[in-house]
Amino acid sequence: MADIYHDLWIKRDIGSVFKGITSRPGLDHWWTLSSEGEPAEGAKYRLYFGPDYDWEAIVSAIKVPELFEWTLTKSDKDWEKTKIRFKLSSDGPFTKVSFVHSGWLSVNDHYKRSSYCWAMYLRALKNYLENGEIVPYAIRTAL
């Protein structure tokens, strides 16, 4: 199995970062076209990226505001049953985001593209939370 790792620092308090990765407005401003779900253990999220990418995930771990993890239950076959985890820690005005997308079955082309895309999306998360920058979805997917 293979995993994707990224760490970044965001100049926002931990609660704001947690909300940015768990709330519908937060997710829709940096990752999804639209989303639905509540940050609670066992809750289902809908992660919609377009007609061919209407995915679902279950919250498999949560500790507000330090940890949030989904397990993908309906997705592309390479993402199926993988876990997306955000571990947050606070240091003054900064929050460290330790990101892991784990459980990939192989290091294939999709894994490599996804690792790059995650870096770009996490940059979008940082820019959204620090500067209020919202990149329209059609442009986000073209990066």
50: left (phi over 0), alpha (psi -120 to 50) or beta: left
Mean pLDDT throughout 24-35? 97
Assessment of whether the complete model's pTM goes beyond 0.85: yes
List pLDDT tens digits, range 78-124: 999 999 999 999 988 999 999 999 999 999 999 999 999 999 999 99
Please state whether the peptide bond connecting residue 65 to the residue before it is cis, i.e. omega within 30 degrees of 0.
Answer: yes
With 90 as the cut, is the pLDDT of residue 49 above it?
Answer: yes
- Residue with more model confidence, 97 or 142: 97
Sheet holding 34-36, edge to edge: 2-10, 94-104, 83-91, 67-74, 54-63, 44-48, 34-36
For residues 84 and 61, what is the distance between their CA atoms, to the nearest angstrom? Answer: 10
